[in-house]
Structure formats: structure tokens, C-alpha cells
């Protein structure tokens, strides 16, 4: 057919470039999982999904609440009176009750140390939509944001794809536990300038995905000083704010703003969502909170492209205005995350596998540098394929997070039940013991014998790097950026 032969010319550049981010090798772990997903009874030898940052630990609390509050749904006999009004409401300000409840919730999550003004709350299509919208509001095509690495791969798509904006990484190194230093920030800023890029702001993710750590007060203060000096924006993605499960306490940028009188508040914007803290990614509840009225106004107009369904706004407004429920939920969620985190990191430590000390998130940052023959990204990829194909765990290689050093992997732990955690730990133990037996850190020759897929490493690179063709006829329900991840 005529059109398909010159599709390349007939679709936009944006449609035909790789900005969607789905062509990274990151996806092959998903392929392995999709074609052979673990199930405790039906497929006990399948691949365990540890590459998905979902929070599945507290659904019982939410379900219990829903059962007790049928009026929160506009479809029950208790709630149907509000069906029509809710279904018709498409004002981009959002339901007042929704904004009020979200503002209150955000305050609670920060231990009530700060309050949020409901008038500055803007909806978006999940955090994915929030990130893109803030990028559209603050930067022009070709402008740049500085972002500390390693960072969530979705930022490349969210901040850059349709906006034409660029991300410049600020390197964080293992030598100081991946702490963000002002030296590194200054270096990245200079590097961007030499490259002729206009830096419009700094993007931080606090708590951090993939590190699972929070930024301390001093670092946050330095960042605030930095952006004020340079007169650039600060976007703080605090999507994991309520997943902080141990000390140190979470310090939000909002707290710093209350203390730092010298800060130009117009430069600071917070991204939030209920996808991680409450485990409701399907509901697409994204939030932009800005201290800049102009940004609030602009983002609100743009929110027309990604409003939250009023059916969902109604439910969330009801749930989050229940103070008792919210208090209980936040406390219980932190407790369960702490327990899960301890179980898995202690389990790994017993086999000599270390991880970055962390206090937040739905994952931890695993250190497998010792298992690599050489400290290269090629070795990291090799090791990763072994973990997927032999150990049968889908974990995420540090390179997909733009980590500057090879050997680190993000491992998710909140998207499975306790039994699955045990199975995963058992498999890792077996793997580590087998490694020790062979004396050399990674016995590539031995693994080659065991690999069911035998190939030369070069050919392997090629097949793994082939852009996956996602046609409408082969839906891949669980692939990574298929979800906003």
C-alpha cells in the first residue's frame, strides 16, 4: 500500500524517532518475563518480576475502606445521586473536594510539617503527564534540565520526547554513596553551557528512583541556593514521598521553602502522584504543585490534555479526606515496606550481596560489582542476561538508569507476596553459591555451557538491540514503558 512504503516521510519526526524510549535493551528482561511469568503453583520456575516499581503491600486496607464507604463510588445506590453532576464536570480546576483532599494528603505525608494550598494543585495524566507538562511550561525546545544520575529512564521520554527539551545528567558516584554534590551540579551546568545548551532548571527525584534514598536538609538547601544563584527552576518529583520507611525522615523541598527566606519561590515546582504511595497507577492521578501562579495557570490550561476522570476524583476525594484512614494507611504502609526491605536486603547480605543503604522507595540498589569480571557495561549486560535467563529474575541494570558506573541493579520488592520473596532469595542464594564454587567471580565460560540460548556475544548484542516492533496485533501487556513505570 502506497502510504506504508513512505511512512517515514508522512509521519512527523517525533513519530519516527526513538524518543518514546522503548528501544532500549532494558526491555528484554520484560520479554523474558512476559513469555515465562512466575506463578507459585502454575509456573514455579518462571521469571520473577522484580523490575516493576509497584506498591502492592496495602491493598487490603484500601479494599476494606471501599467496602465500608459505598458512597465513594458514584455507581452504588449510596452514591448514584452524584453520578450526573460528576459525569458532567469537566472543569480543569478539578473537583474542589478532590483538590482539598490531595492538598491535605500531601501535607500529612510530610508529617504535617508543611501545608499545601489547594489552589496551586493542578491535575495531570499521572506523573508521566505531570513531568511532560512542567517541561512544556518551563522550557523551550533545545533547552536543558540537569538531572542527577542514576535516574528513572521514563524521564527521558516524559521531559524530552514531545517537548524537544534535553536532560543533562549530574553524575553521582558510588565512592560517596551516590550523594549529590554541588561540585557535580556545577560541573554539569558548565558542561551544558559549553555545549551551547540553555539550562532552564534542575530536576530532582526525592526519594530517589532507583537509589531508594532521600536527600538530606543540607543538600536540599545547597540545591536551592544553586538554583537561586543561577536563576533557574527546580522541579522536585516527590512521587515516592510516602514510601519512606526508616530514618532519616523525609524532607520535602516544601519544608526548605518555608525555612529559606532567600529563595525565590517562583522557581520551585513539585510533581506528585498516587501511583506509588497508594499503589493506584491505573487511576492516573498525577499532580503538579507550583509556587508560581503563572505556572499554575499555564499547567492548568495544559491539564485539559490529561485530566483525572471525575469518577476517580470523586473516589479519591472521599478516601483522602478520611483522616483516620489516611493516618493508618501511611503508618502501616511504611511498616510493611520496612519489613519487606529488611527481609530482602538482610537475606542478600547473608550471601555477601550488598546494596546501597536506603530508607525509601519500592526497590533497592543492589551492588553486583564483585560478580563482574571487568568493571564495564558489557559485563553488566552479560551479568544481567545471566540473571534473567539463569536465575530467572527480571531486575533492572544500572545502565538503563544512566548510572555512570557498571555493576549496579535496581531490584523491586513491593510488587509481590512474601512467598515469592522467599523464592527469589533462594534463587539468588543458589546463584551466589554456584559462583563461589567456580572460584572466578563470573565464570563466563561455564555460563556459556549452561545457556540454553547459545550465541556469540556479538550476535547476542544485535538480537537484543533490535527495536521491538509493537504492532497492534501483538499486545504485550506487561512491558515496561507500556506502563508508565
- Grid cell for residue 174: 558510588
Cβ count within 10 A of residue 435: 20
The residue from 104, 110, 157, 410 that contacts another protein (CB under 8 A) is 157
Give the footprint of another protein on residues 233-252 (CB under 8 A).
Answer: 233
- Grid cell for residue 291: 509556587
Angstrom CA distances, 364 to 305, 306, 412, 416, stand at 34, 31, 7, 15
> In the 8-state DSSP scheme, what is residue 162?
T
**Nearest approach, Cβ of 143 to another protein (angstroms)?**
8
Nearer to another protein, 20 or 427 (CB): 20
Using the contact rule CB under 8 A, the part of the chain among 69-77, 364-372, 377-385, 396-404 near another protein is 69-77
Cβ count within 10 A of residue 421: 18
**Nearest approach, Cβ of 330 to another protein (angstroms)?**
18
Angstrom CA distances, 142 to 160, 176, 186, 383, stand at 9, 32, 20, 36
Give the footprint of another protein on residues 335-394 (CB under 8 A).
Answer: none
Nearer to another protein, 80 or 339 (CB): 80
- From the CA atom positions of the chain, what is the Rg in Å? 23
Nearer to another protein, 19 or 111 (CB): 19
Give the footprint of another protein on residues 200-229 (CB under 8 A).
Answer: 200
Phi/psi for 150 (5° steps) reads -70, 150
Give the footprint of another protein on residues 124-143 (CB under 8 A).
Answer: 125-126, 128-129, 132, 136-141, 143
Burial class of residue 418 (count of CB atoms within 10 Å of its CB; 0-12, 13-18, 19+): exposed
Give the footprint of another protein on residues 19-38 (CB under 8 A).
Answer: 20, 22
293 as an active site residue: the answer is no
Cell 478532590 locates to 98
Cβ count within 10 A of residue 378: 14
The residue from 23, 35, 43, 56 that contacts another protein (CB under 8 A) is 56
Nearer to another protein, 66 or 451 (CB): 66
- Grid cell for residue 146: 540537569
The residue from 23, 40, 59, 374 that contacts another protein (CB under 8 A) is 59
- Grid cell for residue 395: 531486575
Nearer to another protein, 387 or 414 (CB): 414
Say which of 74, 239, 288, 330 is annotated catalytic: 239
3-state helix, strand, coil split of the chain in percent (to 5) is 50, 15, 40
276 as an active site residue: the answer is yes
Which of 31, 63, 62 is CA-nearest to residue 49?
A: 31
**Nearest approach, Cβ of 419 to another protein (angstroms)?**
14
Using the contact rule CB under 8 A, the part of the chain among 14-22, 96-104, 108-116, 438-446 near another protein is 14-22
Which of 33, 4, 22, 16 is CA-nearest to residue 387?
A: 33
Phi/psi for 379 (5° steps) reads -65, -40
Interface size with another protein, residues (CB under 8 A) = 89
DSSP 65-99: HHHH-GGGSTTSTTTGGGHHHHHH---TT--HHHH
3-class DSSP state for residue 22? Answer: coil
Cβ count within 10 A of residue 240: 26
Using the contact rule CB under 8 A, the part of the chain among 212-220, 363-371, 434-442, 469-477 near another protein is 469-477
Give the footprint of another protein on residues 35-54 (CB under 8 A).
Answer: 54
Nearer to another protein, 77 or 112 (CB): 77
Using the contact rule CB under 8 A, the part of the chain among 121-129, 324-332, 367-375, 405-413 near another protein is 121-129
Say which of 276, 316, 387, 428 is annotated catalytic: 276
200 as an active site residue: the answer is no
**Nearest approach, Cβ of 395 to another protein (angstroms)?**
20
Q: Does 414 bind another protein (CB under 8 A)?
A: no
191 as an active site residue: the answer is no
Give the footprint of another protein on residues 70-89 (CB under 8 A).
Answer: 73-77, 80, 83-84, 86-89
Say which of 232, 237, 316, 387 is annotated catalytic: 237
The residue from 31, 162, 221, 443 that contacts another protein (CB under 8 A) is 162
- Grid cell for residue 470: 509493537
Give the footprint of another protein on residues 260-319 (CB under 8 A).
Answer: 261-262, 264, 266-267, 275, 279-284, 294-295, 298, 301-302, 304-312, 315
Q: Which residues are catalytic?
A: 152, 237, 239, 276
Amino acid at each position: 500500500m502506497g502510504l506504508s512504503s513512505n511512512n517515514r516521510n508522512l509521519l512527523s519526526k517525533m513519530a519516527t524517532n526513538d524518543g518514546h524510549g522503548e528501544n532500549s535493551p532494558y526491555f528484554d528482561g520484560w520479554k523474558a518475563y512476559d513469555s515465562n511469568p512466575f506463578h507459585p503453583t502454575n509456573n514455579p520456575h518462571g521469571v520473577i518480576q522484580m523490575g516493576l516499581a509497584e506498591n502492592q503491600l496495602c491493598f487490603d486496607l484500601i479494599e476494606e475502606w471501599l467496602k465500608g464507604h459505598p458512597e465513594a463510588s458514584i455507581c452504588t445506590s449510596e452514591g448514584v445521586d452524584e453520578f450526573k453532576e460528576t459525569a458532567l464536570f469537566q472543569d480543569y480546576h478539578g473537583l474542589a473536594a478532590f483538590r482539598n483532599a490531595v492538598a491535605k494528603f500531601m501535607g500529612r505525608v510530610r508529617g504535617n510539617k508543611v501545608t499545601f494550598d489547594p489552589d496551586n494543585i493542578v491535575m495531570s495524566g499521572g506523573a508521566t503527564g505531570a513531568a511532560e507538562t512542567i517541561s512544556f511550561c518551563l522550557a523551550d525546545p533545545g533547552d536543558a534540565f540537569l538531572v542527577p544520575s542514576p535516574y528513572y529512564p521514563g524521564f527521558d521520554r516524559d521531559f524530552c520526547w514531545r517537548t524537544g527539551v534535553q536532560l543533562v545528567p549530574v553524575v553521582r558516584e558510588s565512592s560517596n554513596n551516590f550523594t549529590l554534590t554541588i561540585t557535580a551540579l556545577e560541573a554539569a551546568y558548565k558542561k551544558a553551557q559549553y555545549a551551547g545548551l540553555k539550562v532552564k532548571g534542575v530536576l530532582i527525584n526525592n526519594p530517589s528512583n532507583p537509589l531508594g534514598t532521600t536527600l538530606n536538609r543540607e543538600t536540599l538547601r545547597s540545591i536551592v541556593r544553586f538554583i537561586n544563584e543561577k536563576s533557574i527552576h527546580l522541579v522536585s518529583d516527590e512521587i515516592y514521598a510516602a514510601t519512606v520507611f526508616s530514618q532519616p525522615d523525609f524532607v520535602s523541598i516544601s519544608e526548605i521553602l518555608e525555612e529559606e527566606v532567600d529563595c525565590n519561590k517562583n522557581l520551585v515546582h513539585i510533581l506528585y502522584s498516587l501511583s506509588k504511595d497508594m499503589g493506584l497507577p491505573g487511576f492516573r492521578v498525577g499532580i503538579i504543585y507550583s509556587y508560581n501562579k503563572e505556572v499554575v495557570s499555564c499547567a492548568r490550561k495544559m491539564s485539559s490534555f490529561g485530566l483525572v476522570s471525575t469518577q476517580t476524583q470523586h473516589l479519591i476525594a472521599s478516601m483522602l479526606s478520611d483522616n483516620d484512614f489516611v493516618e493508618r494507611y501511611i503508618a502501616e504502609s511504611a511498616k510493611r515496606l520496612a519489613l519487606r526491605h529488611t527481609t530482602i536486603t538482610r537475606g542478600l547480605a547473608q550471601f555477601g550481596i550488598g546494596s546501597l543503604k536506603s530508607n525509601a522507595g519500592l526497590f533497592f540498589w543492589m551492588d553486583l560489582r564483585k560478580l563482574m569480571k571487568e568493571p564495564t557495561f558489557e559485563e553488566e549486560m552479560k551479568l544481567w542476561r545471566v540473571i534473567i535467563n539463569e536465575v530467572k529474575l527480571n531486575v533492572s541494570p544500572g545502565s538503563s538508569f544512566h548510572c555512570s558506573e557498571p555493576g549496579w541493579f535496581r531490584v523491586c520488592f513491593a510488587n509481590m507476596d512474601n512467598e515469592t520473596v522467599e523464592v527469589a532469595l533462594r534463587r539468588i542464594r543458589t546463584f551466589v553459591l554456584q559462583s563461589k564454587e567456580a572460584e572466578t567471580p563470573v565464570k563466563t565460560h561455564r555460563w556459556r555451557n549452561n545457556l540454553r540460548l547459545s550465541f556469540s556475544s556479538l550476535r547476542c548484542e544485535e538480537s537484543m538491540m533490535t527495536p521491538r516492533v509493537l504492532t497492534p496485533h501483538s499486545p504485550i501487556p506487561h512491558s515496561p514503558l507500556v506502563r508508565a513505570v
